[in-house]
Amino acid sequence: MASTSFFPPRPSSTLAEIASLTKATLVDASYAEHRITGLASLDEAGPMHLSFFENLRYSDELANTRAGACLVSERFEGRVPSHVAVLRARRPFHAFVAYARHLYSDALRPHTGVGAPGIAPTAVIHETAKLEDEVTVEPLAVIGPDVEIGSGTVIGAGAVIAAGVKIGRDCDIGAGSHLQHALIGNNVLMHPGCHIGQDGFGFIFAGQHTKVPQTGRVIIQHDVELGAGTTIDRGSLRDTVIGEGTKIDNQVQIGHNVTIGRHCVIAAKCGLAGSLTLGDNVALGAMVGINNHVVIGDGAQVAAMSGVKDSIPAGERWGGIFARPTRTWFREMLAVRRLAEGSGAETAARPDDDRDEGRG
């Protein structure tokens, strides 16, 4: 099969141009006119590629790289092979990303590329919907009554925007997504298959489990990004709110009445039960589960695969099942390991005749 790239080649850049753009220092000026045609990891890079190094875990890859140039901090500069041009940067990965964003600005938004700009002939748009100029609605999308969509927004193929939903400007609503009972801010990116505003999981759990009406909304503020397959339930009485600038990974479930603060980061497959609160700048590792009604304070961090049943004070780092402060968690794990190792040594030290005592 022929090699296929979904992002066409970009114009080449000289190392002098890259140094200027990334605010890095080209250590050997004789490389100033060397041209870079692409980006690659250390182990896959060739003479025309730019790479970066800032983690000693990848020392072997750096030693054996064929890259044309490498962004690296002054601390590790001496580890770069002599045939590789050195771009000294205080934060190499940040500099690498700055250049990557310059090259691949079209990779920053979840466009499907299945339709031309404008309204596809097969899109279904209710006569009472209001679309500003320069809205794109891709094939087979459905826009319901009284929907409002701001300019520059793209509604992906097969998406359904239910009655009364409001979507701001410069948003991308991924293919196959479904939005109802929701108010969406500006520059919100939803990857394919998101489901927003469906019933929260509310029942009186007795006998036949009586369903509780869910009459709230979902409010997603500006600059939020939602990964593929993420689901956000609408509130029962109060709204479910996702704060400005928050970034949510794939397949995250957010229950009804949840409030998430600004600029939080939530990794894949987290499950947030109803009526909990995350403060600003909270970070959750992958597969964290959080019980209902707890409060996670501003700036708190929770390690991946943790189960949280208690509120976490601002700025603290917790982990484990059930989650507790990481220092306590680590001490407990170490104590259990020592206990297990001690028990094993004690068992191995017993004489055979003690273990066989009483046998015929």
SS3 178: strand
CATH value at residue 316: 2.160.10.10
Domain identity same for 185 and 271: yes
β-strands 203-204, 231-233 pairing: unpaired
Domain identity same for 143 and 96: no
Domain identity same for 222 and 143: yes
Domain membership flag for residue 225: yes
Domain membership flag for residue 48: yes
Q: Which of 49, 178, 195, 256 is catalytic?
A: 256
pLDDT above 90: residue 343:
no
| pLDDT value of residue 360 | 40
Predicted TM-score (pTM) of this structure: 0.89
- Number of domains the chain is built from: 2
| pLDDT value of residue 79 | 97
Domain identity same for 297 and 152: yes
Domain identity same for 43 and 138: no
Domain identity same for 85 and 214: no
Residue whose C-alpha is closest to residue 83's, from 66, 97, 104, 96? 66
Domain identity same for 100 and 72: yes
Domain membership flag for residue 338: no
Domain identity same for 95 and 128: no
Domain identity same for 96 and 152: no
Domain membership flag for residue 334: no
| pLDDT value of residue 359 | 45
Q: Which domain holds residue 221?
A: 124-324
In whole angstroms, how large is the CA radius of gyration of the chain? 27
Could you confirm whether 256 is annotated as catalytic?
Answer: yes
Is the Cβ–Cβ distance between 155 and 135 less than 8 Å?
yes
Domain identity same for 292 and 149: yes
Q: What is the mean pLDDT of residues 69-80?
A: 97
| pLDDT value of residue 115 | 72
Domain membership flag for residue 355: no
40 confidence band (pLDDT: 50, 70, 90)? very high
pLDDT above 80: residue 112:
no
| pLDDT value of residue 106 | 87
109 confidence band (pLDDT: 50, 70, 90)? confident
Mean pLDDT, rounded, of the chain: 93
In the chain, % of residues over pLDDT 70: 94
Domain identity same for 145 and 182: yes
